[in-house]
Amino acid sequence: MRLAIIGGSDAGIAAALRARELDLSAEITVVLDDAYPNFSICGIPYYLSGEVTDWPNLAHRTIDELTGNGIVLRMNTRVLAIDPIGHQLHCRASDGSSPVLEWDRLIIATGATPLLPPVKGLQTAIETDRVFLVHTISDARALMDALNNTQPSRALILGAGYIGLELAEALTSLHIEVAQFEARDHILATIDPTLASQLEAHITSKGVQLKTSTRVTSIEVNDRVTFALSRDTPVATGDIAIIVAGVQPDTELATSVGAKLGAHGAIWVNRKMETGIDGILAAGDCVITHHQLLGESYLPLGTTAHKQGRIAGEVALGHTTHEFRGVVGTQVVKVFDQVVARTGLTESEARETGLDPFTITTNLDDHKRYYPGAQTITIRLSGDIQTHRLLGVDMLGPISSAVHKRIDVAATALQSKATVEELIDLDLAYTPPLGTPWDALQSAAMEWLQGVSQPAPMSPKMAES
């Protein structure tokens, strides 16, 4: 069995490792177009901030650990074409050679590429040494060189999603002034606006000059970088600029062999990660995401890529019982001293999906107020008005309030199709320095039940009559 994998990031390596675990004799080859297999892309902001002391530390596993497992790494090698009939990969290596690889099963794990928003001059700008994307280890090293060499005192960031906010924190910690621009009304499109607003205030309090509802219309680079803006201040200038406006699935190789595309233009796969083309699977940021509440969607994340890759590795070797169960949209990000997390659907997502959510917002203590250091967690909880099924939870709190694992309790309940009432029944852990007898999530559930059982308030007219 010869298994070829295109792509050396989370999905590709997870597939390779799982295949190796299941079959010691399989020939497993990972082809990647850079020299950074199995790197944690999510860690790049912490390398730039200096919290991660050098970029090689970002490797989940070293090259020696991977090859020691009998996984062949073809680095700096670009796949030019897939031959789906002859079962070959036609490649171009950085040494000028054109290797041809034979495969019995192929996993496409080409990931995603940065989305370039329609900004005049952007394509030219990113070719200068002042405007950066932050998607690969090469990108990170180039930006790090710029930070070291040009010692910028002011940076512009286009985009305020997860990575954008982590970068704003990283640069601020390096005493670089940050001006950040987000076209949408709020940062973090995936988080409920109520919590996003709270986080915006926190970021601003840390010195980030945040402008939401503001599009960058053009970029000009000379000795500095200038953004033309859609409103308020007509221009903004900085020594460098970073473009973090999201990603799009890299589907070029897959479509060249006729793979079908699905949600958001990502490669369609079934829950076994099969593309429908004989012998060819796909996984990771290049494929659609099965979502337990939304059906076929596109939510590229490392956690999901690992799970999809693991399944692709199993299925490629003929172990086909395990199917991808699907995500519920669980996400978390630390921004300065706060952590915001979500699972399931936000209120507006639930409504857009045609559900009928009731949502409460409440502030609760992370542990008994009488014990020092109690922190407030803001929780938004949505449930279905008719069935009371839990639909989603958003949380915001300081790092010590364990929001990052509290959201996992909600995510786990959601995945068992729990009702809001069933949250109250959960036997959860309590000790005064770390919790409350009714856990914050349970108190939120009780408030939800109180709220949903009250008759709808009369309209002002009705009340008057």
Q: Does residue 430 interact with a second copy by CB under 8 A?
A: yes
**What is the per-residue DSSP string for 323-366?**
----B---EEEEETTEEEEEEE--HHHHHHTT--EEEEEEEEES
Q: How far is the CB of 80 from a second copy (least distance, A)?
A: 30
Q: Does residue 271 interact with a second copy by CB under 8 A?
A: no
Q: 178-217: buried (b, 16+ CB within 10 Å) or exposed (e) per residue? A: bbbbbbbebbbebbbbbbbbebbebbeebebbbbbebbbb
Closer to a second copy by CB, 40 or 128: give it. 40
Binding residues for a second copy restricted to 39-98, rule: CB under 8 A: 40, 42-43, 46, 51-52, 57-58, 60
Residue selected from 98, 303, 348, 387 as contacting a second copy according to rule CB under 8 A: 303
**What is the per-residue DSSP string for 365-422?**
ESS-TTSTT--EEEEEEEEETTT-BEEEEEEEEEGGG-HHHHHHHHHHHHHTT-BHHH
Yes or no: say if 43 and 52 are a contact pair by the CB < 8 Å rule.
yes
Binding residues for a second copy restricted to 381-400, rule: CB under 8 A: 399-400
Closer to a second copy by CB, 100 or 399: give it. 399
Residue selected from 208, 418, 420, 444 as contacting a second copy according to rule CB under 8 A: 418
Q: Does residue 188 interact with a second copy by CB under 8 A?
A: no
Closer to a second copy by CB, 215 or 306: give it. 306
**What is the per-residue DSSP string for 266-319?**
PBP--TT-B-SSTTEEE-STTB-EEETTTEEE----HHHHHHHHHHHHHHHTT-
Closer to a second copy by CB, 183 or 438: give it. 438
Binding residues for a second copy restricted to 15-34, rule: CB under 8 A: 21
**What mask, x for binding a second copy by CB under 8 A, covers residues 341 to 380?**
x-x------------------------x-xxx--------
Q: Does residue 318 interact with a second copy by CB under 8 A?
A: no
**What mask, x for binding a second copy by CB under 8 A, covers residues 134 to 173?**
----------------------------x-----------
Residues 6+ positions from 365 with CB-CB distance below 8 Å: 374, 375, 376, 377, 436, 440
Run of H or E residues at 67: helix 63-68
Residue selected from 193, 302, 313, 392 as contacting a second copy according to rule CB under 8 A: 302
Q: How far is the CB of 68 from a second copy (least distance, A)?
A: 18
How far is the C-alpha of 242 from the C-alpha of 163, rounded, in Å?
11
* Stretch near a second copy under the rule CB under 8 A, chosen from 66-74, 191-199, 223-231, 426-434: 426-434
Q: Does residue 325 interact with a second copy by CB under 8 A?
A: yes
Yes or no: say if 187 and 165 are a contact pair by the CB < 8 Å rule.
yes
Closer to a second copy by CB, 211 or 334: give it. 334
Residue selected from 331, 346, 359, 382 as contacting a second copy according to rule CB under 8 A: 331
How far is the C-alpha of 180 from the C-alpha of 212, rounded, in Å?
8
CA distances from 328 to 18, 43, 188, 416 (A): 23, 23, 17, 11
Closer to a second copy by CB, 46 or 128: give it. 46
Residue selected from 329, 383, 397, 398 as contacting a second copy according to rule CB under 8 A: 329
* Stretch near a second copy under the rule CB under 8 A, chosen from 68-76, 226-234, 246-254, 299-307: 299-307
| 8-state DSSP, 69 | T
Of the candidates 414, 408, 246, which has an alpha carbon nearest to the alpha carbon of residue 331? 408
DSSP β-bridge partners for residue 79 = 91
Q: Does residue 328 interact with a second copy by CB under 8 A?
A: yes
Binding residues for a second copy restricted to 218-237, rule: CB under 8 A: none
Closer to a second copy by CB, 187 or 225: give it. 187
Residue selected from 204, 385, 425, 458 as contacting a second copy according to rule CB under 8 A: 425
Q: Does residue 465 interact with a second copy by CB under 8 A?
A: no
How far is the C-alpha of 286 from the C-alpha of 148, rounded, in Å?
33
Residues 6+ positions from 146 with CB-CB distance below 8 Å: 129, 130, 132, 152, 240
> By CB under 8 A, how many residues form the interface with a second copy?
72
Residue selected from 74, 105, 135, 307 as contacting a second copy according to rule CB under 8 A: 307
Closer to a second copy by CB, 276 or 432: give it. 432
* Stretch near a second copy under the rule CB under 8 A, chosen from 78-86, 201-209, 211-219, 297-305: 297-305
Strands 216-221 and 225-229: antiparallel
How far is the C-alpha of 424 from the C-alpha of 441, rounded, in Å?
8
How far is the C-alpha of 13 from the C-alpha of 37, rounded, in Å?
8
Q: How far is the CB of 246 from a second copy (least distance, A)?
A: 17
Residue selected from 207, 258, 450, 458 as contacting a second copy according to rule CB under 8 A: 450
Closer to a second copy by CB, 254 or 328: give it. 328
Strands 240-243 and 131-133: parallel
Strands 177-181 and 112-114: unpaired
Closer to a second copy by CB, 158 or 418: give it. 418
